[in-house]
Structure 1
Amino acid sequence: MNHQVMNRRLRTLARLTFGNTASRIYLGLVLAAAVFVAADTLFVSHDDASFAGGWVFFLAAPTVFAFIVGGSMAGAEAGGPAWFLYLALVVSVLVQACALGWFTRLLRGTGREHSARPQGA
């Protein structure tokens, strides 16, 4: 594959994932939930387990569950090691942010046909 084509595809993926309002709002919500979970874990003492981490999984659903099921089918026991769960969360959030960007672009109709127009038209 040509180097320029690969760079163009990576820029398009980055633009879909981080370059639109819907994806930014989603990523902001996920970041806020992660900060809440970190603060709850570090600074609040609980008599029993806290369900704060459930918000991050809720925001990463349904793709995070596909990764967890895939990991268990590959031999990981009970959700796998912690690093696998964190990686599944991060990848799930990025996949969903990209999907939101793609869906937003689809709704606006700004696909390839839009970029082929001359600048002055």
Structure 2
Amino acid sequence: MNRPAISRRTTRTLVRLTFGNAASLLYLGAVVAAAVLVAVDTLFVAHEDASFAGVWLFLLAAPTVFVFLLGSSAAGAESFGPAWFVYLALTVSVLAQSLALGWFVRLVRGGARRDRTVRPRSA
């Protein structure tokens, strides 16, 4: 029987860890708020010089976003690569850190919920 590379259960667990706890949701909310700030600043505010609003996104996605960007520079892309790669690196970094936060919350709370079930002791 052919099993898919990632089962439904694994996918469900990854989604639950990434989006299913308060710490991850607060982090993702902060990232969305920063992205809205950057979009509003870029589209509706006139500046004589460049704005530093985009720095907040990179600070929220640090340190993993810098690993992706340095990797692209090492692979030969000039100065952080094309814009699509920067957006992709930001997205993957934020999702990876949200997953790490969810995993940490799960670790602190004592593991998976199925491990908390009461099991009879042997005599």
TM over 0.5, shorter chain: yes
1:100 counterpart residue number: 101
Task: Compute the TM-score of the two structures, normalised by the length of structure 1.
Answer: 0.91
Q: Structure 1: 5+ residue runs without aligned partners?
A: none
Normalized per residue, the structure richer in helix is 1
Runs of 4+ with deviation above 3 angstroms: none
Secondary structure, counterpart of 2:65 in structure 1: helix
Aligned counterpart, 2:44: 43
Residues 40-74 of structure 1 deviation map (CA, whole Å, 9 limit, x = unaligned) = 00000001000000000000000000000111111
**CA RMSD of the aligned region, Å?**
1.6
2:114 counterpart residue number: 115
**How far, CA to CA, are the matches of 1:83 and 1:2 in structure 2?**
33
Query: TM-score, normalised to structure 2's length?
Result: 0.89
1:22–1:75 distance in 2 versus 1, CA, 3 Å: same
User: 2:15 corresponds to which residue?
Assistant: 14
Unaligned runs of 5+ in 2: 119-123
User: In the superposition, relative to structure 1, how do residues 43 and 5 fare at CA in structure 2: closer, same or farther (>3 Å)?
Assistant: closer
Partner of 1:68: helix, strand, or coil? helix
Q: From the superposition, tell whether residues 4 and 76 of structure 1 become closer, same or farther in structure 2 (CA, over 3 Å).
A: closer
